[in-house]
Amino acid sequence: MSTIGYYDFRMPGAVRFGVNALQTLPDEIRQRKAAKIALISDKGVEGAGLVQKVIDLLQPLSIPMTVFTDIKGEPTFALLESTVRNLQREGCDLVVGIGGGSAMDVAKTTAALLDKSDLAAYLSGSAVIESRSVPCILLPTTSGTGAEVTMNAIFGDEEQELKRGLVSQMLLPDVAIIDPMLTVTCPAKVTAASGVDAFTHAIESYVAVRATPMTRMYAEKAMKLFPQHITRAVHHGSNLEARIGMCLVSNLAGISLANAGVGAVHALAYPLGGKYHIEHGVANALLMPYVFEVTGRTCTEQMVHVAKFLQLGDFEEQPHDALDAVVRYLYRLLGELDLPSSLKQLGVDEASLPVLAEQASRVDRLLSNTPYKLTYDKILSIYKKAYAGQ
Ligand SMILES: NC(=O)c1ccc[n+]([C@@H]2O[C@H](COP(=O)([O-])OP(=O)(O)OC[C@H]3O[C@@H](n4cnc5c(N)ncnc54)[C@H](O)[C@@H]3O)[C@@H](O)[C@H]2O)c1
């Protein structure tokens, strides 16, 4: 009897990376013979002049365009639905999304849903998105969520006070254009939170149950580059070398996340986003050291590798010390990047911790991808520690 063992590895149709890569956007649109473009973004990105930059660049094409910049940070399913309905009325046949994870998640899901009438089934997750309605091109402006290369889109469910992911290959764009110039205006706080979010994608996907040799290769490179660029990108945002470095970290980590998935840090972050609207990157950055202190115990060998990637030392002889070194680094990072270091500081009510733990313990998709079985009690103890702070 033979057994079949295989893994898939998926990417967008094309990933274009480089300074001024934005200039190739008109060609991509021309090739797809679009009759009406939907340009999706948010007010912060518009305020930084990036939406106008795209409009000016596309103007010579003389293709009608609907510009939709009402996307809010950490978008909800209600916002997604109203965006799709609005753009269905406009009759757009190509979507361009420019922004951080919030704008890109709405853009890629809109591109998949534009020709569908029964939105409720898709938004509730009871129907899987099996086709994409129109072509989609994504341009990230944070580094980052990696949403331009993932099959996920994350939305807030206001009724259940939870964040939930839609997962489908149809959420991969045709083209991801990663131009570091688009991240230069990204504010320091967003750069810090989304930068550590990218690192969370790398480390969580590296130790993930579903990790493969290919995903580990991407995650490893992302972890090696991260310490070289994150501090300068946050504190010296106009430094192009640091911005290029962080775009690469985000992109590589995103590819690893897309194919190996993430784990418990994300599972515990979702309820904080759902109930307290704490930004995804901030929640991940804060929870990461507390979660790894517990879950890292079952992946000693990987922690030795991670410590090496981060240049924290060689722990081959004392493998059990590697986790301590990694966790200390993650705590230090919060201070260096001016990120919050306790849930209390973020305004979380201590009395809500059991509810948060109950919600997190139901995120099976991510907890089952973590190489440590986190029980409700363990999750609650992690939240309590994170509440009090280091
Ligand atoms: N789909 C995925 O695989 C995936 C992965 C991780 C996170 N996410 C989701 O992504 C969202 C968070 O995305 P994010 O961290 O990129 O932040 P964001 O998209 O919410 O943006 C944060 C703020 O930064 C501003 N901003 C972004 N780029 C800018 C620039 N270049 N110049 C000036 N202002 C700029 C925005 O206007 C916004 O106000 C969350 O909803 C999270 O759940 C999705």
pLDDT score of 342 more than 60: yes
Most confident of the following: 125-134, 243-252, 272-281 = 243-252
Nearest atom in ligand 1 to 43's CA: 37
Q: Is 101 in the pocket of ligand 1 (CB under 6 A)?
A: yes
Q: Is 225 in the pocket of ligand 1 (CB under 6 A)?
A: no
Q: Which residues contact 9 (CB under 8 A, 6 or more apart)?
A: 212, 214, 215, 259
Reference 299, options 196, 390, 201, 211; nearest CA is: 211
pLDDT at 31: 96
Cβ neighbours around 365 below 10 Å, total: 16
**Residue 319 CA to ligand 1 centre (angstroms):** 36
- Segment 67-92 shows an average pLDDT of 95
Q: Is 253 in the pocket of ligand 1 (CB under 6 A)?
A: no
**Residue 320 CA to ligand 1 centre (angstroms):** 36
Residue nearest to atom 8 of ligand 1 (CA): 101
């089952």: which residue's tokens?
A: 368
Percent of the chain with pLDDT over 70: 99
pLDDT score of 1 more than 80: no
Query: pLDDT confidence of 343, banded at 50, 70, 90?
Result: very high
pLDDT score of 375 more than 60: yes
pLDDT score of 162 more than 90: no
Backbone angles phi, psi at 139, to 5 degrees: -130, 100
**Residue 75 CA to ligand 1 centre (angstroms):** 10
Query: pLDDT confidence of 163, banded at 50, 70, 90?
Result: confident
Q: Tens digits of per-residue pLDDT, 95-115?
A: 999 999 999 999 999 999 999
d(CA 165, CA 354): 22
**Residue 77 CA to ligand 1 centre (angstroms):** 16
Residue nearest to atom 37 of ligand 1 (CA): 44
Q: Is 289 in the pocket of ligand 1 (CB under 6 A)?
A: no
Nearest atom in ligand 1 to 150's CA: 3
Q: Is 179 in the pocket of ligand 1 (CB under 6 A)?
A: no
Q: Is 204 in the pocket of ligand 1 (CB under 6 A)?
A: no
Q: Is 259 in the pocket of ligand 1 (CB under 6 A)?
A: no
Residue nearest to atom 17 of ligand 1 (CA): 100
Quote the mean pLDDT of the chain: 96
Residue nearest to atom 39 of ligand 1 (CA): 44
Reference 198, options 217, 181, 218; nearest CA is: 218
- Segment 332-341 shows an average pLDDT of 96
pLDDT score of 35 more than 90: yes
Total residue count of the chain as it appears in this document: 390
Task: Tell which one of 105, 164, 167 to mutate to probe ligand 1, the residue whose CB is within 8 A of the most ligand atoms.
Answer: 105
Q: Is 302 in the pocket of ligand 1 (CB under 6 A)?
A: no
- Segment 18-35 shows an average pLDDT of 97
pLDDT score of 205 more than 80: yes
Query: pLDDT confidence of 236, banded at 50, 70, 90?
Result: very high
Residue nearest to atom 41 of ligand 1 (CA): 74
Nearest atom in ligand 1 to 73's CA: 20
**Residue 162 CA to ligand 1 centre (angstroms):** 18
pLDDT score of 390 more than 90: no
- Segment 221-231 shows an average pLDDT of 98
Q: Tens digits of per-residue pLDDT, 107-136?
A: 999 999 999 999 999 999 899 999 999 999
**Residue 46 CA to ligand 1 centre (angstroms):** 13
Q: Is 42 in the pocket of ligand 1 (CB under 6 A)?
A: yes
Reference 107, options 118, 96, 117, 93; nearest CA is: 96
pLDDT score of 2 more than 80: no
- Segment 86-91 shows an average pLDDT of 94
pLDDT score of 373 more than 60: yes
Residue nearest to atom 25 of ligand 1 (CA): 44
Q: Which domains does the chain have, with CATH numbers?
A: 14-183 (3.40.50.1970), 188-388 (1.20.1090.10)
Q: How many angstroms separate the Cα of 62 from the Cα of each of 27, 38, 203, 237? A: 13, 14, 45, 35
pLDDT score of 234 more than 70: yes
**Residue 202 CA to ligand 1 centre (angstroms):** 17
Task: Read off the DSSP letter of residue 334.
Answer: H
- Segment 205-219 shows an average pLDDT of 97
Nearest atom in ligand 1 to 151's CA: 3
